[in-house]
């Protein structure tokens, strides 16, 4: 896929999941085969006010490229100003969040709440596009609720105002993450616009990735929750779509070694104290589906230092090899 002048290889991107898609996880997924990553969403207002926590979300390292930074907000002039400030971090792409369903974002008019104001969506895209010289993309949902399915309208408005690509999550904001995503809306939008379309929603394996490509004709796919504790989904997708090969699931040692490496990377980025707090949820995701997973997740919730993780890994090996 090519987004204006940015070449993106592979078949799947890592979604910009808040509190999850930090640098440690992005680097791991890139290493394993994610062709593109998007940083955790950052507040446009926070960035214009020079908030340090917001600025940390925008850091881009060379090993992560191609990478987008994602901004959210509902004021065109503030979004444009924040996009200019974001350029200091040298992102390859600026992504505008119009799809986040979180109440703390939508209650302030940002994220998927923007889908209730199609003209405002266009004004934001136009303002950001005029302010920066890198590609500008947009992430949307199917609509706000079942009574306002307007992804097609908004996609066309965003394209008309200069968006270089669009990502569509096939659920409304009201649906959050269930029930099943509607891939038909992705197909229809792909047929209606001339810019690249990235499909998102219910891609949980290499086989479902292949199905989304075939059923929607999308240019690329985005993986979110299915990558949690399972970064191997990226090489599995690549193997199936490049060579028609179905890779096996990772064995126990690979799973535990990758978890250890991932969590050590989190600690390197954030310090052991903060890193191990972050590690608790990741460890729980890595144990999903394993024998004794419930007990292992409970122990994961008490991690405070890397040595605790080593004990947990030893416990997991003991339970699973019995």
List, by residue number, the catalytic residues. Answer: 100
Q: How far is CA 230 from CA 24, 61, 113, 136, 259, in A?
A: 14, 23, 30, 29, 10
Residue 227 and residue 234 in contact, taking contact as beta carbons nearer than 8 Å: yes
Nearest by Cα to 166 from 123, 188, 198: 198
Residue 190 and residue 216 in contact, taking contact as beta carbons nearer than 8 Å: yes
Contacting residues for 282 by C-beta, under 8 A, at least 6 apart:
25, 228, 229, 259, 262, 263, 266
Residue 54 and residue 69 in contact, taking contact as beta carbons nearer than 8 Å: no
Beta bridge pairs of residue 272: none
């Amino acid at each position: 896929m090519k987004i204006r002048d940015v070449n993106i290889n592979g078949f799947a991107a890592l979604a910009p999941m808040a509190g999850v898609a930090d640098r440690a996880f992005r680097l791991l997924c890139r290493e394993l085969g994610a062709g593109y990553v998007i940083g955790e969403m950052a507040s446009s207002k926070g960035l214009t006010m020079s908030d340090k926590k917001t600025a940390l979300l925008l850091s881009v390292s060379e090993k992560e490229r191609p990478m987008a930074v994602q901004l959210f907000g509902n004021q065109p002039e503030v979004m444009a100003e924040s996009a200019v400030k974001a350029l200091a971090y040298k992102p390859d792409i600026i992504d505008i969040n119009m799809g986040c369903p979180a109440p703390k974002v939508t209650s302030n008019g940002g994220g998927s709440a923007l889908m209730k104001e199609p003209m405002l969506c266009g004004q934001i895209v136009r303002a950001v596009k005029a302010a920066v010289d890198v590609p500008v993309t947009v992430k949307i949902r199917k609509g706000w609720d079942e009574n306002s399915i307007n992804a097609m309208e908004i996609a066309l408005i965003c394209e008309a105002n200069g968006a270089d690509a669009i990502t569509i999550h096939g659920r409304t904001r009201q649906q959050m993450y269930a029930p099943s995503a509607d891939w038909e809306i992705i197909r229809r939008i792909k047929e209606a616009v001339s810019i690249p379309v990235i499909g998102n929603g219910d891609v949980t394996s290499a086989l479902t990735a292949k199905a989304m490509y075939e059923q929607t004709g999308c240019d690329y796919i985005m993986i979110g929750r299915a990558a949690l504790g399972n970064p191997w989904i990226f090489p599995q997708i690549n193997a199936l779509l490049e060579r028609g090969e179905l890779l096996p699931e990772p064995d126990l040692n690979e799973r535990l070694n990758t978890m250890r490496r991932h969590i050590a990377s989190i600690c390197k980025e954030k310090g052991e104290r903060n890193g191990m707090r972050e590690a608790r949820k990741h460890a729980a995701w890595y144990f999903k589906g394993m024998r004794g997973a419930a007990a292992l997740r409970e122990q994961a919730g008490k991690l405070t230092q890397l040595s605790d993780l080593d004990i947990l890994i030893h416990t997991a090996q003991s339970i699973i090899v019995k």
